């Protein structure tokens, strides 16, 4: 059985004033049936992790460097994230691929660094609108999985997030059949690559998930949770998504 995961990616949003949303979430969801994860900006990780110590809300980073330390101004390493209290790290988000030119090879190196630090990697894949229009969605996703994931992925160390680039922050989502097609394909690819462990790797859907569409998305085959952007910033919205996942 795969434990469902509701993950919030705060992106470049949030200051200490936003900690009140974490407090609300902990109050309203003391014992959720799914796993809850928030990936705040790096400036808040240590504070949020301290507040959540021994609680059921996990904390993650949004990126890391592939080296453990050194002359990389502005970067953060996986051991640093672990030291701050993170247990997950999002890698290869399309915004990093676009804004920072991240390649699959970099994502692979970062994933290895995350595993070496004892953290769980949430590796993002997804097609652009043009690639979908060209009918290239599955080959694109397959290529990203082949070259972004190192050998040795396990159910405990790897989560894959399918985030169609054109659905991020746009209010648009693929049809349920399109989500099922991609998630089933990702599952088959993970099983072919990692055997039994591939069966246990959780596959999240991300891209304009909100309380109003969460129930139907969570009913789709091989959707084990969501990676939520905008709707994770408010405890009421993220809480409703958590409730939908818990009931799925
Ligand atoms: P939105 O939920 O705001 O579309 O963002 C999705 C996302 O990119 C999560 O990583």
Q: Which atom of ligand 1 is nearest to the CA of 169?
A: 4
Beta bridge partners, 158, equal 121
For 125-133, what is the mean pLDDT?
Answer: 97
Instruction: Give the least confident one: 49-53, 140-144, 174-178, 240-244.
Output: 49-53
**In this structure, is residue 198 part of a structural domain?**
yes
Spatial neighbors of 86 by CB under 8 A, at least 6 apart, are 45, 49, 59, 60, 61, 119
**In this structure, is residue 51 part of a structural domain?**
yes
For 185-190, what is the mean pLDDT?
Answer: 98
Q: Is 93 considered catalytic here?
A: yes
**In this structure, is residue 149 part of a structural domain?**
yes
Structurally, the chain folds into a number of domains equal to 1
Pick from 155, 153, 154, 175: which is nearest to 164 by CA? 175
pTM above 0.95, yes or no: yes
Q: Are the beta carbons of 125 and 163 closer than 8 angstroms?
A: yes
Q: Are the beta carbons of 127 and 145 closer than 8 angstroms?
A: no
Q: Are the beta carbons of 144 and 185 closer than 8 angstroms?
A: no
The residue contributing the CA closest to ligand 1 atom 1 is: 229
Tell me what pLDDT residue 53 has: 75
**In this structure, is residue 181 part of a structural domain?**
no
- The helix, strand and coil proportions of the chain, stated in percent and rounded to the nearest 5, come to 45, 15, 35
Q: Name the region of 129 (left: φ>0; alpha: ψ -120 to 50; beta: rest).
A: alpha
For 163-178, what is the mean pLDDT?
Answer: 97
The domain that holds 133 is classified in CATH as: 3.20.20.70
**In this structure, is residue 167 part of a structural domain?**
yes
Tell me what pLDDT residue 214 has: 98
**In this structure, is residue 183 part of a structural domain?**
no
Confidence band (pLDDT; 50, 70, 90) for 51? confident
Q: Is 163 considered catalytic here?
A: yes
Confidence band (pLDDT; 50, 70, 90) for 18? very high
For the Cβ of 62 lying below 6 angstroms from any atom of ligand 1, the answer is no
Q: Are the beta carbons of 124 and 92 closer than 8 angstroms?
A: yes
How buried is residue 12: exposed, middle or buried, by Cβ count under 10 Å (0-12/13-18/19+)? exposed
For 218-236, what is the mean pLDDT?
Answer: 98
CA distance 162 to 70: 32
Q: What percent of the chain has pLDDT over 90?
A: 96
**In this structure, is residue 121 part of a structural domain?**
yes
**In this structure, is residue 180 part of a structural domain?**
no
Q: Which of 93, 95, 127, 183 is catalytic?
A: 93
Torsion of Cα atoms, 230 then 179 then 138 then 37, to 10°: 40
Q: Return the axis-axis angle of helices 42-51 and 19-28, rounded to nearest 10°.
A: 40
C-alpha of residue 113 to centroid of ligand 1, in Å: 24
Q: Are the beta carbons of 125 and 96 closer than 8 angstroms?
A: no
Structural domain of residue 76, as residue ranges? 5-173+189-247
The residue contributing the CA closest to ligand 1 atom 7 is: 229
């Amino acid at each position: 059985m795969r434990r469902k995961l509701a993950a919030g990616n705060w992106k470049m949003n949030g200051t200490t004033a936003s900690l009140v949303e974490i407090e609300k979430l902990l109050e309203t969801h003391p014992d959720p049936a799914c796993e809850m994860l928030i990936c705040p900006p790096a400036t808040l990780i240590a504070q949020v992790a301290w507040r959540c110590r021994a609680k059921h809300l996990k904390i993650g980073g949004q990126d890391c460097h592939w080296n453990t330390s050194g002359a990389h101004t502005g970067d953060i390493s996986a051991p640093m994230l672990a030291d701050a209290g993170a247990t997950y790290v999002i890698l290869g988000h399309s915004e990093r691929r676009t804004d920072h030119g991240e390649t699959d090879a970099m994502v692979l190196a970062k994933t290895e660094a995350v595993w070496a630090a004892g953290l769980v990697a949430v590796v993002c894949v997804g097609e652009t609108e043009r690639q979908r229009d060209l009918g290239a969605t599955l080959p694109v996703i397959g290529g990203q999985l082949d070259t972004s994931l190192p050998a040795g992925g396990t159910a405990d160390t790897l989560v894959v997030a399918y985030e169609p680039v054109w659905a991020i922050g746009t209010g648009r989502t693929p049809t349920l059949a399109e989500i099922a097609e991609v998630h089933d394909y990702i599952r088959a690819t993970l099983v072919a690559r990692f055997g039994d462990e591939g069966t246990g790797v959780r596959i999240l859907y991300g891209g304009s998930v909100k309380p109003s569409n969460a129930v139907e998305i969570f009913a789709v085959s091989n959707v084990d949770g969501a990676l939520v952007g905008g709707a994770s910033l408010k405890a009421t919205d993220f809480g409703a998504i958590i409730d939908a996942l818990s009931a799925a």
